[in-house]
Amino acid sequence: MKVLAVGDIVGNIGLNKLEEMLPIIMEKENIDFVVVNAENTSSGMGLTIKDFNTLLRMKIDAITMGNHTWGKKDIFSFIDNPKLIRPANYSKGVPGKGYNIFNCNNKKIAVINLIGRTDMNILSENPFTLAENLVNKLKNEADIVIVDFHAEATAEKIAMKYFLDGKVNIIFGTHTHVQTADEEITENGTGYITDLGMTGPKKSVIGMDIKASIKRFVTSLPERYKLAEGEAIFNGCVFELDDESLKTKNIYRIRM
């Protein structure tokens, strides 16, 4: 079983790059299951119905979100789509699902979306205790558990790796838009990477226009948020699971 996780889609440039590269990568790498983080897809913040429908036309199994889940009001019209997963540790009672279970190759795959609390400026429940509760619940419901931890702090993501080591099959981080070079298979067979990176404008500051970004840092004055243009980059990671033990036996980054 091979799982492809694709880093944060940023703007139309990222969406177009995904549409172009996904079929090629799936065929070349013999991918069985695809997870994509889409919280920055529409103008860099949120997800519109138009862009969501574009994602649905691709061979994507699960679409995760993050701190910009509610960035576009369209979201409320399709938040209950079974492919869409928002952070599970948002406040109780908000619409949508924090996890879902999918069928693939006669296996049940649970995908959980969590959001970090360090430097995120989002009020959320404790991702560690909630993750523990969900994993215990899913023991008898899913064969494979995948976690997208959408968080700013590398320390928080690494702590989650150790916290869930051996209890889930795959953990990957999203949000920072910079691919980390620390992919590993833990002692207990969990595939992990701190951040997948982004699929979006290559010549940018994490997807943002360079001049606008520099002006904000130099002057400390507010500057209109503007997405960068030009060539795109594709970032993701492939996790290969053993067909019997379902532990991760191989992991490698994709950067194109």
Average pLDDT, the chain: 97
Q: What is the mean pLDDT of residues 57-71?
A: 97
* Predicted confidence (pLDDT) per residue in 116-126, tens digit: 999 998 889 99
State the angle between helix axes of 127-138 and 154-163 in degrees (0 to 180), rounded to the nearest 10. Answer: 30
The active-site residue out of 68, 150, 175, 177 is 68
Q: Rounded to whole angstroms, how far apart are CA atoms 251 and 88? A: 26
Asked whether the CA dihedral 32, 38, 41, 44 is positive or negative, the reply is: negative
pLDDT at 45 over 90: yes
Mention every residue, 6+ apart, whose C-beta is less than 8 A from residue 95: 76, 79, 80
What domains sit in the chain, N to C, each tagged with a CATH number?
2-201+230-255 (3.60.21.10)
CA geometry: angle 1, 144, 58, nearest 5 deg: 60
- Band the pLDDT of 135: cuts 50, 70, 90: very high
pTM of the model: 0.97
Question: Measured between alpha carbons, how far apart are the two ends of the chain, in Å?
Answer: 23
Residue 222 has what pLDDT?
Answer: 83
Q: Which residues of 54-76 are buried (b: 16+ CB within 10 A; e: fewer)?
A: bbeeeebbbbbbbbbbbbbebbe
* Predicted confidence (pLDDT) per residue in 148-184, tens digit: 999 999 999 999 999 999 999 999 999 999 999 999 9
Residue 122 has what pLDDT?
Answer: 87
CA distances to 75, 158, 169 from 123, in Å:
19, 21, 28
Q: What is the mean pLDDT of residues 26-51?
A: 97
Q: In this structure, what token pair is assigned to residue 88?
A: 């599970």
Identify the weakest region by mean pLDDT among 95-109, 140-154, 218-232. 218-232
Q: In this structure, what token pair is assigned to residue 143?
A: 């064969």
Percent of the chain having pLDDT more than 90?
Answer: 95
Cβ–Cβ contacts within 10 Å for residue 47, how many?
27
Give the H/E segment covering residue 29.
helix 11-29
Helix, strand and coil in the chain, % to nearest 5: 25, 30, 45
Q: Rounded to whole angstroms, how far apart are CA atoms 124 and 120? A: 10
Q: In this structure, what token pair is assigned to residue 77?
A: 């019209």
* Predicted confidence (pLDDT) per residue in 198-242, tens digit: 999 999 999 999 999 999 999 988 888 899 999 999 999 999 999
Per the annotation, the verdict on 68 as an active-site residue is yes
Residue 224 has what pLDDT?
Answer: 81
